Structure 1
Amino acid sequence: MILVTGATGTVGREVAGRLPAGLAVRVMTREPARVTAAPAAAGVVRADYGDPRSLARALDGVKAAFLVTSRVGDDDARFVRAARSAGVRHVVKLSAAAVTDPRADDVITRWQRATEELVRGSGMDWTLLRPRAFMSNALSWAGSVRSDGVVRALYGGSVNACVDPRDVAEAAVRALTEEGHGGRAYTLTGPRAISAAEQTAQLAELLGRPLRFEELGPRQARTVLAARHPQDLVEALLAGAERQRAGAKAGVDATVPALLGRPAGTFRGWAADHLSAFASP
């Protein structure tokens, strides 16, 4: 039995939908009605990291699990304890590329490093997936693109080797279903680094209409982020933007093509497949 957590999220949804037919699959979520991509034969179980009984039910009979957590805190520790007790053999953990950057010391990266250490010391087999930023983060621009034909972002000329989340999901499926991935940490990037300004230009070409890029200053960016996130996360995101401006996120890793046997997906390809989100009504 394979368990997929985060099955309504960016990567978990893709993992659930890509697992081969014929495998025993269970999907864990707090909101079963939102699960849309799981295989028809998959079991869907309502569970929460903070509820030990629901975790035990979700993990009963599971041999491999895809672990996604999104809240800084103890969710990973709770899951690892429950998984070990349930006899899970292999955990595939979604982490982040920043954990390998010694200059990254924000609250998010420190948490991800701690959770990686937790999984490595669990006594179970483990695989760590360390993606760079998701190309799908561009969906945060969709509203302003539709309404005003504008993308607003901080440091629009800085580049990031962002990755198609579908490539991350395919890497997770391979780690869950193939031998040879235990004890491995995979850094996952796109085929080249790209800036927000260039992403805007590519979206404009695909949409067939002009788009304008507007550079946010640090103070403006802080205000925008503070409307969505608590203060410690705002500071972490701003620190990440500064590291990106310094070139820390520009490196392209060869793992995706080596692991998947094909080139990593491009931003243009991702955008073409999600163009309806940016199109005017």
Structure 2
Amino acid sequence: MILVTGGSGTVGRKILRRLPQDTPVRVLSRSGTGVPERPGNPFEVVRGDYDRPASIHAAMAGVETVFVVTCDPCRPWQDEILVEAAAAAGVRSLVKLSALAVEDQGAHDLVTRWQRDNEELIRTSGMEWTFLRPRAFMTNTLGWARTIREDGVVRALGGTTRNACIDPRDVARAAVQVLTSPGQHGRTYALTGPEAISPAQQADAIGRALGRPVRFEELPPHEALAGLCRRYPLPVAQALLESAERQHAGAKTRVSTDLAALTGRQPTDYLTWAHDNAHAFGATGLRTLTTAA
């Protein structure tokens, strides 16, 4: 039995769509909604809340492998609850969705420290482990959709700075390979796209996918921070701004071959992702939106 946490999220839904039909899968969900259906062998969806540790312990019963996604660096005890529950239930292995920033010795922001602590917690848990360390998701740029639709513009930090961002579909493919293959204990995978690309280049790619110009406008740091604070707690917003500063220094340009070695597939390039997601940016008559694929 595989337990998928974050099953309604960006990567979790894509994992569920790719796991073999005959694989027993349980999905941990806070709301019990947003989980894709699987005809013939439905997923077992269980409600769980880290504020109710007993629900997490119950979800682990009979589970052999857990795909681990936690999302709140301001509440690190949630990770401790998950690992404790897995160990108590006799779970054999944990596959952790981490972040490539943990390998950057110059990265000390809140989010990166949290991910490093999570990895150490799992590494010392006594269970087998595998770490998936993706670079930023291409889907992050869906946050530009409104201004592209309304004004044909992307407003963001660091227009010329580059990031080897990755399609979450590729992260899901890597996760499925690890979850269903033997011999993964103790391995870490750096997951990136095929090239490091800048926000200005991404805006141009979206414009090419839409068939109309999309221009880029540099966003001042104070405006970027204000925008982040509308979506995240201040400590997380500040951490993301620190991350952007590391990108400006060139810390996120490395391209890894781990995805191809693990899955036998080359990573998806950003222009392909933009074409596949053109509807999100206001296109008509193009390919179907695939962010939940």
The Cα offsets for residues 74-115 of structure 1, whole Å up to 9 and x where unpaired, read as 111100000011111010001000001111001111110000
Amino acid at match of 2:197: I
Summarize the alignment of residues 168-179 of structure 1 with structure 2, pairs less than 5 Å apart: 168-179=171-182
| 2:241 partner SS | helix
Q: Which residue of 2 is the match for residue 43 of structure 1?
A: 44
TM-score by length of 1: 0.97
Please tell me whether the aligned partners of residues 8 and 33 of structure 2 are also in contact (alpha carbons under 8 angstroms): no
Partners of 2:283 and 2:261 in 1: CA distance: 38
Higher mean C-alpha displacement, 48-57 vs 90-99: 48-57
Give the alignment partner of residue 263 of structure 1, picking from 261, 266, 280: 266
Amino acid at match of 2:171: V
Amino acid at match of 1:20: P
Please tell me whether the aligned partners of residues 14 and 37 of structure 1 are also in contact (alpha carbons under 8 angstroms): no
| 1:113 partner SS | helix
Partners of 1:234 and 1:21 in 2: CA distance: 40
Please tell me whether the aligned partners of residues 13 and 37 of structure 1 are also in contact (alpha carbons under 8 angstroms): no
Q: Which residue of 1 is the match for residue 240 of structure 2?
A: 237
Q: Which residue of 2 is the match for residue 107 of structure 1?
A: 110
Shift of 1:50: 2.5
| Pair 1:56 & 2:87 matched | no
Shift of 1:280: 5.3
| Pair 1:15 & 2:18 matched | no
Amino acid at match of 2:183: G
Q: Gaps (5+ residues) in structure 1?
A: none
Identity %: 52
Higher mean C-alpha displacement, 154-163 vs 54-63: 54-63
The Cα offsets for residues 160-180 of structure 1, whole Å up to 9 and x where unpaired, read as 000111111111111111011
Partners of 2:282 and 2:2 in 1: CA distance: 37
Q: Which residue of 1 is the match for residue 198 of structure 2?
A: 195
Q: Which residue of 1 is the match for residue 34 of structure 2?
A: 34
Q: Which residue of 1 is the match for residue 169 of structure 2?
A: 166
Q: Which residue of 2 is the match for residue 143 of structure 1?
A: 146
Partners of 1:191 and 1:242 in 2: CA distance: 22
| 1:194 partner SS | coil
Partners of 1:38 and 1:70 in 2: CA distance: 25
Q: Which residue of 2 is the match for residue 65 of structure 1?
A: 66
Partners of 2:173 and 2:106 in 1: CA distance: 29
Q: Which residue of 2 is the match for residue 76 of structure 1?
A: 79
Q: Gaps (5+ residues) in structure 2?
A: 285-293
Q: Which residue of 1 is the match for residue 217 of structure 2?
A: 214
Give the alignment partner of residue 157 of structure 1, picking from 157, 160, 163: 160
Q: Which residue of 2 is the match for residue 182 of structure 1?
A: 185
Please tell me whether the aligned partners of residues 16 and 36 of structure 2 are also in contact (alpha carbons under 8 angstroms): no
Higher mean C-alpha displacement, 88-97 vs 267-276: 267-276
The Cα offsets for residues 133-181 of structure 1, whole Å up to 9 and x where unpaired, read as 0011011001111111111100111000001111111111111110111
Please tell me whether the aligned partners of residues 63 and 90 of structure 1 are also in contact (alpha carbons under 8 angstroms): yes
| 1:103 partner SS | coil
